[in-house]
Chain A
Amino acid sequence: MVSNRNINVALIGNPNVGKTSVFNQLTGLNQQVGNYPGITVEKKMGFCKLPNNVKANILDLPGTYSLNASSIDENVVIELLLNKNDKLYPDVALVVTDVENLKRNLLLFTQIKDLEIPTILVINMADRMEYKGITLDIPYLEEHLKTKIALISSRKGFGIKELKKLIVTYKTISTEPCLNASSIDPEYFNTLRKTFPNQLLYKLWLVITQDVNFLNLDRNEIRSSFTKSHSDLKRLQQKETIKRYQFINDVLKAGMKIDETVAKDFRSKLDRVLTHKVWGYVIFFLILFVIFQSIFEWSKIPMDFIDSTFASLSTLAAEKLPAGVLTNLISQGIIPGIGGILIFIPQIAFLFMFISILEESGYMSRVVFLMDKIMRKFGLSGKSVVPLISGTACAIPAIMATRNIENWKERLITILVTPFTTCSARLPVYAIIIALVIPDTRVFGILNMQGMTLMLLYLLGFGMAILSAYILNKILKIKGKTYFVVEMPNYKLPLFKNVGINVIEKTKAFIFGAGKIILAISIVLWFLASYGPGEKFNNAEKIVVEKTKDKPLSKTEFENAVASQKLENSYIGLMGKTIEPAISPLGYDWKIGIAIISSFAAREVFVGTLATIYSVGGSDNEVTIKNKMAAEINPTTGEKIFNFASGISLLLFYAFAMQCASTLAITKKETNSWKWPAGQLIFMTGFAYVVALIAYQILK
Chain B
Amino acid sequence: MRTTIHSLKKGEKAIIKDFDIDTVPLKLLEMGCLPGNMVELLQIAPFGDPLYLNINNGSHVAIRVETAREIEVEIIKTNLW
Residues of A within 8 A of B (CB): 65-66, 68, 70, 100-104, 107, 231, 234-235, 237-238, 241-242, 245, 267-268, 271-272, 275-277, 280-281, 365, 368-370, 372-374, 382, 406, 482-490
Contacts and interface: CB of A to CB of B under 8 A. Distances in A.
Given A107-B30, A242-B34, A373 B46 contact: yes
Interface string B49-81: 110100011111111101100000000000000
Which of A245, A268, A369 has most B Cβ within 10 Å?
Answer: A369
Nearest to A374: B47
Given A369-B43, A485-B27, 10 more contacts: A68-B27, A70-B25, A234-B21, A238-B26, A241-B29, A281-B46, A373-B47, A484-B63, A487-B60, A489-B60
Contact of B52 (A100, A104, A369): A369
B57 A241 contact: no
B45 A370 contact: yes
A65 B33 CA distance: 13
Which of B42, B48, B50, B56 has most A Cβ within 10 Å?
Answer: B50
A245 B50 contact: no
Contacts of A70: 25-27
A519 to B, nearest CB: 45
B21 A238 contact: yes
Given A271-B42, A271-B43, A406-B25, A485 B52 contact: no
Nearest to A102: B58
Which of B28, B29, B34 has most A Cβ within 10 Å?
Answer: B29
Interface of B: 21-22, 25-32, 34-35, 37, 42-43, 45-50, 52, 56-64, 66-67
A485 B37 CA distance: 18
B32 A245 contact: yes
B48 A373 contact: yes
Nearest to A68: B26
Nearest to A260: B57
Contacts of A489: 60
Nearest to A381: B64
23 contacts: A65-B27, A65-B30, A68-B26, A70-B26, A100-B58, A102-B58, A231-B22, A237-B29, A241-B26, A241-B34, A245-B34, A268-B42, A276-B46, A368-B62, A369-B43, A372-B62, A373-B45, A406-B25, A482-B64, A483-B25, A483-B27, A484-B67, A486-B61
A66 B26 CA distance: 10
Contacts, number: 118
Nearest to B27: A485
Given A100-B58, A271-B43, A487 B31 contact: yes
Given A234-B22, A372-B64, A406-B25, A484 B50 contact: yes
B62 A369 contact: yes
A382 B26 contact: no
Contact of B46 (A102, A268, A280, A482): A280
The 10 closest A-B pairs by CB, nearest first: A277-B46, A488-B60, A373-B47, A483-B25, A484-B64, A66-B30, A373-B49, A486-B62, A369-B62, A485-B27
A65 B42 CA distance: 22
A267 B40 CA distance: 15
Contacts of A271: 42-43, 52
B27 to A, nearest CB: 5
B14 to A, nearest CB: 18
B16 to A, nearest CB: 11
Contacts of B32: 103-104, 245
A339 B52 CA distance: 48
Contacts of B59: 101, 103-104, 487
A485 B49 contact: no
B36 to A, nearest CB: 8
Contact of B45 (A100, A231, A372, A487): A372
Nearest to B36: A242
Which of A65, A238, A382 has most B Cβ within 10 Å?
Answer: A238
Contacts of B31: 65, 104, 485, 487
A373 B67 CA distance: 14
Contacts of A490: 60
Contacts of B46: 275-277, 280-281, 370, 373
Which of A237, A271, A485 has most B Cβ within 10 Å?
Answer: A485
A238 B64 contact: no
B42 A372 contact: no
Given A68-B26, A271-B42, A485 B66 contact: no
Nearest to A70: B27
Contacts of B49: 372-373
Contacts of A101: 58-59
Contact of B21 (A231, A268, A275): A231
A337 to B, nearest CB: 47
A110 B64 CA distance: 29
Contacts of A486: 50, 61-63
Contacts of B30: 65-66, 68, 104, 107, 241
A272 B44 CA distance: 10
Nearest to B65: A373
A490 B67 CA distance: 23
Given A271-B42, A484-B63, A486-B62, A234 B47 contact: no
Contacts of A65: 27, 30-31
A588 B42 CA distance: 56
B26 A234 contact: yes
A124 to B, nearest CB: 15
A237 B34 contact: no
Contact of B61 (A281, A370, A373, A485): A485
Given A241-B30, A373-B49, A382-B50, A485 B25 contact: yes
B70 to A, nearest CB: 11
Contacts of A103: 32, 56-59
Nearest to A277: B46
